[in-house]
C-alpha cells in the first residue's frame, strides 16, 4: 500500500530555493528521520490529512499539539468565520478577551490575572521577564531536555556537570546570556538542590514542564514537583510552569490542576505559560499567575511586554470555541481510552517482532522510545535507537500514518479519532515492526 509523493518532492525542491531549509520551522524537516522531502499537505479534516498527491493520512502529529478537536472542527470554524466577518484585528480591547481570561481562570486556580500573547515562546519569555522584575534577580534554573521555545535564555543546555552554568544550544546566543541559565536533570531533586545551593541567591525562577512533552511524554516522579517548589521557594525564587503542551491536554485544566495525581493538586506555581490548545489552532500564547507577580507587568508595573497581535479577535474566538468543545462530557475519557488501545496494541506488536519499545502514555498522548529501558529523563530519552525510529516513521508514513518526524515528539489523539483509526494504525504498525 505504498504511496507516491511526487508532487511533495517537487514542491520541496521549489521550497528549498525560497524558504530556509524548505520549512518554516526546523522540526518540520525530515532531517531527524534520515532526510528526504517532507510531505506537503493541502487539506485536513477531523483526524485526517490529504497531501498534494492525494494520499490520505491519519494524523497523530496534530500540529505538535494544538489540534485536539480534530482539524476544521465545525464549532471552531464557525467562530473563526464570524471573527473574519467582523474584523480580525482591532488594536483595542474586546469583550471576548475578558470572556476567555475568565475561562482560563475558572479552570486554573493559580491564575489571578493573565495576559494573552501570540506564541508559547512569547509566553515563556514574558514569564521570565516578570520573574526577574519581581525578584530583582537574573538567573533561571531549567531542566535538561525541556523545551521552552526559541528565545535566548531557554535555548541553553547544561554545562559539563549537573549544576554548572549553561552553554548556548544555538549560535547567536551570547555567552553572557547563557551564563544566566543553569540546567539540571529532570526528576533529580539532588541536582536541583545542588544548583540552588550554588546559585539560589541569584535565581529568579525555576522553570519546568510539570509533565514533560518534549523528550517524549514523561511524568514527574512522585514528590518531584512538590520538592521543586519547596526548594525554589526556600531560595526565594519563583516557580514557573511551562504548560504550553500540557494545558487542556489531559483534562479540562492544566497539569497543575490534574487531580488524578494527588501530588499535583497542592502545588501552585507563581507563574504559568500556556499556548497551543488554547488557540484552537490559531496563533496564541498566554501567561498568568499570582496578582502580586502579574502586577509587575506594564501598564501597571515596570516589566514591559506588548504585542500588536496579542489577544486578536480571531485567535481568542478560536480558543474559546476549542475550550467549549473540550467542556463536553466524556471527550477526555474517549481520547484516554483510544490512546490506551493504541499504546497496548503497539507494545504487543513490537513485542511480537522482538523490537525493543518503551511507551510512555499519559491519557490521550503517548511517546514511543526504541529502547528496552524506562524513559524518565532526557539522558534516557537520548539513549534510544533514533535510526530505528526513523525507519519506523517512514514505514508508517508510507501506509498513511502521520507521526512527528522526531523520536522525541509525542503522538496526540484528538476528539475526532475513532476505533477504526486505531485499528488501521495498529495494522500499519504490525507491518512496520515486521519490516524493521
Ligand atoms: N513550551 C513548550 C513546553 C513547548 O512544547 C513549546 C513548543 N513546542 C513552546 C514552549 C514554544 O511554543 P511556540 O512554538 O508556540 O512558540
User: 192 in a domain, yes or no?
Assistant: yes
* Three-class DSSP category at 300: coil
**What percent of the chain is predicted at pLDDT more than 90?**
90
434 C-alpha to ligand 1 centroid (Å): 35
* Chain mean pLDDT for the chain: 95
User: 424 in a domain, yes or no?
Assistant: no
pLDDT at 381 over 50: yes
CB 153 within 8 A of CB 181: yes
Which residues lie across from 289 on neighbouring strands? 113, 271
The answer to whether residues 298 and 262 belong to one domain is yes
110 C-alpha to ligand 1 centroid (Å): 20
368 C-alpha to ligand 1 centroid (Å): 20
What pLDDT, on a 0 to 100 scale, did the predictor assign at position 164? 55
Atom in ligand 1 nearest the alpha carbon of residue 120: 12
C-alpha cell at 362: 499519559
User: 278 in a domain, yes or no?
Assistant: yes
Q: Whose CA is nearest to atom 10 of ligand 1?
A: 148
Listed residue (142, 239, 255, 240) closest to 191, CA to CA: 142
The answer to whether residues 285 and 203 belong to one domain is yes
We report the CATH number of the domain holding residue 26 as: 3.90.1150.10
User: 65 in a domain, yes or no?
Assistant: yes
The answer to whether residues 334 and 301 belong to one domain is no
Listed residue (188, 183, 180, 146) closest to 164, CA to CA: 183
pLDDT at 303 over 90: yes
26 C-alpha to ligand 1 centroid (Å): 13
What pLDDT, on a 0 to 100 scale, did the predictor assign at position 170? 86
The answer to whether residues 41 and 87 belong to one domain is no
Total structural domains in the chain? 2
pLDDT at 383 over 70: yes
pLDDT at 11 over 50: yes
Question: Above 0.95 for ipTM, yes or no?
Answer: yes
148 C-alpha to ligand 1 centroid (Å): 5
The answer to whether residues 309 and 388 belong to one domain is no
157 C-alpha to ligand 1 centroid (Å): 16
Residue in 24, 67, 121, 272 to alter for ligand 1 test, most ligand atoms within 8 A of Cβ: 121
What pLDDT, on a 0 to 100 scale, did the predictor assign at position 258? 73
Listed residue (23, 105, 90, 61) closest to 291, CA to CA: 105
Q: What is the domain extent for residue 379? A: 6-72+329-406
Give the ranges where 145-186 is alpha helix by DSSP (H): 175-178
The answer to whether residues 222 and 293 belong to one domain is yes
Listed residue (424, 409, 436) closest to 352, CA to CA: 436
Residue in 140, 244, 284, 412 to alter for ligand 1 test, most ligand atoms within 8 A of Cβ: 244
pLDDT at 33 over 60: yes
191-213 pLDDT, tens per residue? 999 999 999 999 999 999 999 99
pLDDT grade for 257, boundaries at 50, 70 and 90: confident
C-alpha cell at 155: 535555548
C-alpha cell at 341: 488501545
User: 435 in a domain, yes or no?
Assistant: no
Atom in ligand 1 nearest the alpha carbon of residue 285: 15
User: 418 in a domain, yes or no?
Assistant: no
What is the Cα–Cα distance from 147 to 242, expressed in whole angstroms?
A: 9
List active site positions: 147, 242, 276
Kindly list the protein residues whose Cβ atom lies closer than 6 A to any atom of ligand 1: 64, 119-121, 124, 147-149, 209, 213-214, 242, 244-245, 275
pLDDT at 267 over 50: yes
The answer to whether residues 234 and 98 belong to one domain is yes
pLDDT grade for 264, boundaries at 50, 70 and 90: low
We report the CATH number of the domain holding residue 305 as: 3.40.640.10
Mean local confidence (pLDDT), 246-271: 82
The answer to whether residues 61 and 168 belong to one domain is no
* Three-class DSSP category at 396: helix
What is the Cα–Cα distance from 415 to 417, expressed in whole angstroms?
A: 6
Q: Please give the distance of CA 41 from its chain centroid, rounded to a whole number.
A: 21
Q: Whose CA is nearest to atom 13 of ligand 1?
A: 120
pLDDT at 2 over 80: no
What pLDDT, on a 0 to 100 scale, did the predictor assign at position 162? 46
Provide CB contacts within 8 A for 249, sequence distance 6+. Answer: 65, 68, 213, 255, 277, 363, 364, 365
pTM score: 0.97
pLDDT at 189 over 50: yes
74-130 pLDDT, tens per residue? 999 999 999 999 999 999 999 999 999 999 999 999 999 999 999 999 999 999 999
Residue in 24, 66, 120 to alter for ligand 1 test, most ligand atoms within 8 A of Cβ: 120
Amino acid at each position: 500500500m505504498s504511496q507516491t509523493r511526487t508532487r511533495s518532492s517537487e514542491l520541496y525542491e521549489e521550497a528549498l530555493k525560497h524558504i530556509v531549509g524548505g520549512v518554516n520551522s526546523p522540526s518540520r524537516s525530515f532531517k531527524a528521520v534520515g532526510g528526504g522531502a517532507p510531505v506537503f499537505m493541502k487539506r485536513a479534516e477531523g483526524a485526517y490529512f490529504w497531501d498534494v498527491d492525494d494520499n490520505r493520512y491519519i494524523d497523530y502529529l496534530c500540529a505538535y499539539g494544538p489540534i485536539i478537536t480534530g482539524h476544521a472542527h465545525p464549532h471552531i470554524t464557525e467562530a473563526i468565520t464570524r471573527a473574519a466577518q467582523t474584523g480580525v484585528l482591532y488594536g483595542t480591547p474586546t469583550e471576548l478577551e475578558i470572556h476567555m481570561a475568565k475561562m482560563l481562570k475558572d479552570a486554573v486556580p493559580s491564575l489571578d490575572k493573565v495576559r494573552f500573547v501570540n506564541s508559547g515562546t512569547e509566553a515563556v519569555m514574558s514569564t521570565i521577564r516578570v520573574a526577574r522584575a519581581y525578584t530583582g534577580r537574573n538567573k533561571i534554573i531549567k531542566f535538561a531536555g525541556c523545551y521552552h521555545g526559541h528565545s535566548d535564555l531557554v535555548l541553553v543546555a547544561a554545562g559539563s556537570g549537573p549544576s554548572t552554568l549553561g552553554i548556548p544550544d544555538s549560535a547567536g546566543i551570547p555567552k553572557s546570556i547563557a551564563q544566566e541559565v543553569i540546567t539540571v536533570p529532570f526528576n533529580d531533586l539532588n541536582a536541583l538542590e545542588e544548583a540552588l545551593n550554588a546559585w539560589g541567591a541569584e535565581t529568579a525562577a525555576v522553570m519546568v514542564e510539570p509533565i514533560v512533552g518534549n523528550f517524549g511524554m514523561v511524568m514527574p516522579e512522585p514528590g518531584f514537583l512538590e520538592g521543586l517548589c519547596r526548594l525554589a521557594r526556600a531560595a526565594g525564587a519563583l516557580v514557573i510552569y511551562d504548560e504550553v503542551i500540557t494545558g487542556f491536554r489531559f483534562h479540562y485544566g492544566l497539569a497543575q490542576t490534574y487531580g488524578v495525581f494527588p501530588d499535583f493538586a497542592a502545588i501552585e506555581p507563581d507563574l504559568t505559560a500556556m499556548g497551543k490548545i488554547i488557540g484552537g489552532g490559531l496563533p496564541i500564547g498566554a501567561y498568568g499567575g499570582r496578582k502580586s507577580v502579574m502586577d509587575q507587568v506594564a501598564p501597571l508595573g515596570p516589566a514591559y511586554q506588548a504585542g500588536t497581535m496579542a489577544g486578536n479577535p480571531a485567535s481568542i474566538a478560536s480558543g474559546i470555541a476549542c475550550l467549549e468543545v473540550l467542556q463536553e462530557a466524556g471527550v477526555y475519557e474517549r481520547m484516554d481510552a483510544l490512546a490506551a488501545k493504541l499504546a497496548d496494541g503497539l507494545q504487543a506488536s513490537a513485542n511480537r517482532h522482538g523490537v525493543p519499545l518503551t511507551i510512555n502514555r499519559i491519557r490521550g498522548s503517548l511517546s514511543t522510545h526504541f529502547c528496552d529501558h524506562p524513559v524518565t529523563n532526557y539522558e534516557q530519552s537520548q539513549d534510544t535507537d533514533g535510526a530505528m525510529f526513523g525507519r519506523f516513521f517512514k514505514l508508517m508514513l508510507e501506509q498513511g500514518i502521520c507521526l512527528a518526524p522526531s523520536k522525541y515528539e509525542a503522538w496526540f489523539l484528538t476528539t475526532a479519532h475513532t476505533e477504526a483509526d486505531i485499528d488501521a494504525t495498529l495494522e500499519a504498525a504490525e507491518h512496520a515492526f515486521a519490516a524493521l
